[in-house]
Structure 1
Amino acid sequence: MAARKVLTRAESQALTREELIEAAERLFYANGYHATSLAAIAAEAGRTIGAVYSNFDAKEDLCLEVLRGWGSKKLSRLATAIASTDGSVEERLAAIAHWWDTQLMSEDAALILAAEYGISVVRDPEQRAAAVAACERFVETGRVLLVEHLPEGTAHSQEVLEDAVYGVLGTAVGLAVGHVTELTPSERSTTILIATVEFWLRRLGESVSAS
């Protein structure tokens, strides 16, 4: 019988951190951000409260790690979906629409958690800055996707590009909030998002012509 591998200190800490994140994700999704305590997360993971504080400074940090992992998976699936198209605008928009329907709008627990977390840190400058930094990957992904629709090597207005990125992102956030609060009809959400992307693609095209 092979001897059980003895983990190094770094490996053991990484394993503990992963187990805490997985436990936090289960409890946050099931019970919500505010109803979930660090003590409950520690118990769910089979760890001590000391183990939690050895890896995370506060509940906000642990929640942000859960959301960062969720967002990374969603962005990876979006990139895969777009890469599998023939590269045309129509195919890419269809891929984005399918991703929005199946990967985001079907994830109510994660969307609600993101909203709860956002509200909880809005008055804390340090935590708010951490949340903004975590969202930068979404911003950069949007920027890359929009530029890829432009003719290679063409000049475009950087100001219009930034407006486009934040215009699409702001619309997506609003639609996500509208979805979980049932203010926006689910059947209209995808149509509105794609129409917004198409609008900004046209504006970018106009800025290329002007340049």
Structure 2
Amino acid sequence: MGRRKVLSRAESQALTREEILDAAEQTFLAVGYRGASLNAIAAEAGRTIGAIYSNYDSKEELCLEVLERRSSVILAGLMAALVGADDDEARLTVLAAKWADLSSDSGLLILAAEYGITTFRQPEQRARTTAYIDRARESVSVLIEDHVPANLQPVAQNTLKESVDAILATGLGLAQLQTFGVISVEESSRTLVETFRLWLGRLEERVATP
């Protein structure tokens, strides 16, 4: 019978953190940000409340990491699917399908909205959230840059920033409309793809302009 591997301190801490994140995600999505408590998350993880405070300063910090981890998984799935697409139209089809999945995840969208509203007047946490949004903007920027020439002129670089903000704002608005049942998944996906296509065309025009 093999000997059980003894985890190092770093490995043990990483495992504890992962178990807390798993429990937090499950709890937040089940009862919402306001309904979740650190005591409930600790119980779900089979850990003490002290274990949570050893890894996170607050519920706000824990929730933000849940949102970041979930979005990273979604983005990684999107990037992997795009790699297998042969041309721009195929990539847009992938984008539409992935957006349909994301925008239909009402639990995640509502959690993000709850978190944002609750922490808006907390300067320190708001700064962390802003940094998280900036990372999301960078990811969208990388996605768009894959469709346009590598050496963008300065004017095109400015348009790239405009396109990222426009696509993110459109996506957020569409997600809200879809969550409340104002538009369908198909309408939401179609509008986002058309917005993406519109800004790609504008970028190509600006690159072509001497």
User: Which has the higher mean CA deviation after the structures are superposed, 59-68 or 122-131?
Assistant: 122-131
Superposition CA RMSD, Å: 1.5
Aligned to 1:133, which of 131, 134, 145?
Answer: 131
Deviations 1:88-121 (CA, angstroms, capped at 9, x unpaired): 221111111111113x023221111111111111
Partners in 1 of 2:31 and 2:150 — Cα distance?
A: 48
* Residue of structure 1 in register with 2:159 after alignment: 160
Counting matched residue pairs gives 209
Q: Which amino acid aligns with 2:4?
A: R
3-state secondary structure, aligned to 1:5? coil
* Residue of structure 2 in register with 1:19 after alignment: 19
- Within 5 Å, which residues of 2 pair with 1:47-62? 47-62=47-62
Q: Is the contact made by 1:20 and 1:45 (CA closer than 8 Å) also made in structure 2? A: yes
Partners in 1 of 2:151 and 2:54 — Cα distance?
A: 49
Q: Which amino acid aligns with 1:59?
A: K
Partners in 1 of 2:99 and 2:165 — Cα distance?
A: 17
- Within 5 Å, which residues of 2 pair with 1:128-207? 128-155=126-153, 157-207=156-206
Partners in 1 of 2:191 and 2:61 — Cα distance?
A: 33
Partners in 2 of 1:98 and 1:60 — Cα distance?
A: 31
Deviations 1:66-100 (CA, angstroms, capped at 9, x unpaired): 111100000001101111011x2211111111111
Q: Is the contact made by 1:115 and 1:177 (CA closer than 8 Å) also made in structure 2? A: no
Post-superposition offset of 1:191: 1.0
Post-superposition offset of 1:122: 1.1
Indicate how the Cα distance of structure 1 residues 14 and 36 shifts in structure 2: closer, same or farther if over 3 A, else same.
Answer: same
Q: Is the contact made by 1:75 and 1:138 (CA closer than 8 Å) also made in structure 2? A: no
Structure 1 gap segments, 5+ residues each: none
Q: Which amino acid aligns with 1:196?
A: T
